[in-house]
Amino acid sequence: MKSDIVRLKALDITKKQEMPTKKTLFWFRQDLRISDNPGLYEAAKQGAVMPVYIQDEKTAGDFKMGEASLWWLYHSLTDLNNSLNNTLNVYQGNAKEILLRLVKDNCMDAIYWNRCYEPQRIKEDTDIKSSFKAENIDCQSFNGSLLLEPWQVVKSDGNPYKVFTPFYQKGYLGISNIRRPLPKLEKLDLIKEQSNKTTITQLNLLSDKNWHKKIEPYWTIGEKGAREKLQTFLNEGLLYYKEGRNFPGKNNTSRLSPHLHFGEISPNQVWFEAATKGLVENHLRADLDCFLSELGWREFSYNLLYYFPDLPHKNLQSKFDMFPWENNLEDLKAWQQGQTGYPIVDAGMRELWQTGYMHNRVRMIVGSFLVKNLLLHWHHGEKWFWDCLVDADLANNSASWQWIAGCGADAAPYFRIFNPITQGEKFDPEGNYTRHFVPELANMPNKYLFRPWQAPVDILERAGVVLGYNYPKPIINLEFSRHRALEAFASLPKTSLSII
């Protein structure tokens, strides 16, 4: 029996004309927006659209969304549903089974979606597309998540790039290769399946512990929030971005990463609006080039995941399979809780816990401390970030952790071990960031803020700091840990550093 359906107009129609009769199911995934959404745009051109979102955690396997991502997803879906005049059809279960049923029961003529690039998603998409084509159903996918597809930026011999600079120079210098954002949709005739009673709340995306309440004030989730975040950055953060992005106490980072991951804004929109701003105002050119290259790093990470699908699990440089990792779970717990005794490290880990986010410079510092000072496997850091970050992204998370561990593509040299004392003094010189997230040290003078164990007793007393009581002593000696790390790296086979 065919399901009852209702058509609702979600956007104002500015041109009066007959809508085509074709009905298309559009499957939302990591593209939770209406503007510059290639798959949705093409579906709307064909006629009526049934907007669908499916929560399919079983197919996700080892990479089910972490709690922070689920919290973000709940609010992003709610915002999208509001934009669609409450016509978003949400389901829970096996995506393939649900999509086949929806197309059959509602006499859909076609099914469209935007591509995802995680290995399991690619496998799933291939299977679903094959099933629909076997039924002679029009089934098409589009690029709504990347500036360029992974197969568009390869070396002359067809092999993928393993170093960022030539990758970026090949595909991203200039804008001729990159799609401009699509014009605004003029009409969107939406279909609501009345027989489906599942609501966004019933997807059970929110933790019953309500831990997410503490991070809510930091974010405005959804397409409008993403647009506002971009404009704020272009107006207030792009100037001095090249240098300012390294200082966690300054407002020179865009904080667009979760909006990009969930597709509340497209990389094309970010690229062209930033380029327009930077090219009009010549004094922003160096800052613009640096910002665009960061979008390029996002593309590079996806390229690596596409061509090396074991990226989340396997060292790209196989000699690291023999690395002598430690297994000190107490050190791991101290790192996770921001109780290492190294203030800039603890500030970063507490920022992550309190906001669902961490400044990029500090991510490198805490990552280096975990894998090089504590000699704990990068998998521990990857998993913790996956659960705690609102911008947890399989490609970026995996590539970044392999970079800091020295075992990935274009990786940090093994001897590059960030010193958390000098990093704090250099990049948080006034201590505003550190004091905010480590309030126990709020009254410490700058001279000893990042090395409180070296402060004289009277200074500690005046600051109200009792090491080992209200702030921990360092869990490891930096000099010892550095020498230990260098010895561990030196023990690896003297083989080529080339990937695979």
Residue 496: pLDDT band by 50, 70, 90 thresholds? very low
**Strands 189-193 and 89-92: what pairing?**
unpaired
**Residue closest to 286 by CA, chosen among 224, 237, 242:** 242
- Does one domain contain both 262 and 332? no
Look over the chain and give the mean of its residue pLDDT values, rounded to a whole number: 92
**Strands 189-193 and 110-114: what pairing?**
unpaired
For range 145-165, the mean pLDDT:
95
Q: Does residue 203 sit within a domain?
A: no
Q: What is the pLDDT of residues 408-431, one digit of tens each?
A: 987 667 778 999 999 999 999 999
pLDDT reading at 51 higher than 90: yes
Residue 13: pLDDT band by 50, 70, 90 thresholds? very low
- Does one domain contain both 289 and 343? no
Q: What is the pLDDT of residues 225-234, one digit of tens each?
A: 999 999 999 9
What pLDDT score does 419 carry?
Answer: 97
Q: What percent of the chain has pLDDT over 70?
A: 94
pLDDT reading at 465 higher than 50: yes
pLDDT reading at 57 higher than 70: yes
Q: Does residue 66 sit within a domain?
A: yes
What pLDDT score does 339 carry?
Answer: 98
Return all residues near 455 (Cβ < 8 A) that are at least 6 apart: 444, 445, 447, 448, 463, 465
Q: Does residue 358 sit within a domain?
A: yes
Q: What is the pLDDT of residues 114-138, one digit of tens each?
A: 999 999 999 999 999 999 999 999 9
CA distance 314 to 430: 40
> Do 113 and 141 form a contact (C-beta atoms < 8 A)?
yes
Question: DSSP string spanning 183-205?
Answer: PPPS--EEEEETT----SGGG--
- Does one domain contain both 58 and 164? no
The alpha carbon dihedral of 213, 218, 221, 225 has a sign of: positive
pLDDT reading at 11 higher than 60: no
- Does one domain contain both 292 and 171? yes
What pLDDT score does 7 carry?
Answer: 53
What pLDDT score does 175 carry?
Answer: 67
Which two tokens mark 186?
Answer: 């003029």
Amino acid 105 reads D
Collapse the DSSP code of 34 into the 3-class scheme (helix H, G, I; strand E, B; otherwise coil) and give the result: coil
Q: Containing domain of residue 268, as a range?
A: 146-178+223-309
Output the domain CATH number for residue 418: 1.10.579.10
Q: Does residue 395 sit within a domain?
A: yes
pLDDT reading at 97 higher than 70: yes
pLDDT reading at 47 higher than 70: yes
What pLDDT score does 16 carry?
Answer: 34
> Do 295 and 204 form a contact (C-beta atoms < 8 A)?
no
Return all residues near 301 (Cβ < 8 A) that are at least 6 apart: 393, 395, 396, 398, 399, 400
- Does one domain contain both 364 and 435? yes
- Does one domain contain both 407 and 464? yes
Phi, psi angle pair for 139, to nearest 5°? -130, 115
- Does one domain contain both 365 and 434? yes
For range 102-120, the mean pLDDT:
96
If one counts the domains in the chain, the total is 3
Q: Does residue 202 sit within a domain?
A: no
What pLDDT score does 225 carry?
Answer: 98
- Does one domain contain both 109 and 157? no
Which two tokens mark 378?
Answer: 């990068």
**Residue closest to 341 by CA, chosen among 443, 457, 434:** 434
Phi, psi angle pair for 195, to nearest 5°? -75, -15
Q: What is the pLDDT of residues 70-81, one digit of tens each?
A: 999 999 999 999
CA distance 311 to 301: 10
Residue 307: pLDDT band by 50, 70, 90 thresholds? very high
pLDDT reading at 214 higher than 60: yes
CA distance 256 to 226: 7
- Does one domain contain both 156 and 303? yes
CA distance 344 to 244: 17
- Does one domain contain both 364 and 288? no
Domain closes at, from 291, 309, 327:
309
> Do 368 and 357 form a contact (C-beta atoms < 8 A)?
no
Residue 393: pLDDT band by 50, 70, 90 thresholds? very high
- Does one domain contain both 397 and 484? yes
Q: Does residue 215 sit within a domain?
A: no
What pLDDT score does 20 carry?
Answer: 55
Residue 275: pLDDT band by 50, 70, 90 thresholds? very high
**Residue closest to 427 by CA, chosen among 485, 334, 345:** 345
pLDDT reading at 242 higher than 70: yes
Q: What is the pLDDT of residues 162-190, one digit of tens each?
A: 999 999 999 998 767 899 999 999 889 99
Q: What is the pLDDT of residues 317-352, one digit of tens each?
A: 999 999 999 999 999 999 999 999 999 999 999 999
What pLDDT score does 12 carry?
Answer: 45
Question: DSSP string spanning 70-120?
Answer: HHHHHHHHHHHHHHTTT--EEEES-HHHHHHHHHHHTT-SEEEEE---SHH
Place of tokens 């699990």: 313
Output the domain CATH number for residue 288: 1.25.40.80
Q: Does residue 198 sit within a domain?
A: no
For range 262-277, the mean pLDDT:
96
Domain closes at, from 283, 309, 335:
309
For range 140-155, the mean pLDDT:
97
Considering the entire predicted model, what is its pTM?
0.94
Which two tokens mark 474?
Answer: 């360092």
Domain closes at, from 292, 309, 326:
309
What pLDDT score does 420 carry?
Answer: 98
- Does one domain contain both 430 and 374? yes
**Strands 89-92 and 22-28: what pairing?**
unpaired
What pLDDT score does 497 carry?
Answer: 39
Residue 63: pLDDT band by 50, 70, 90 thresholds? confident
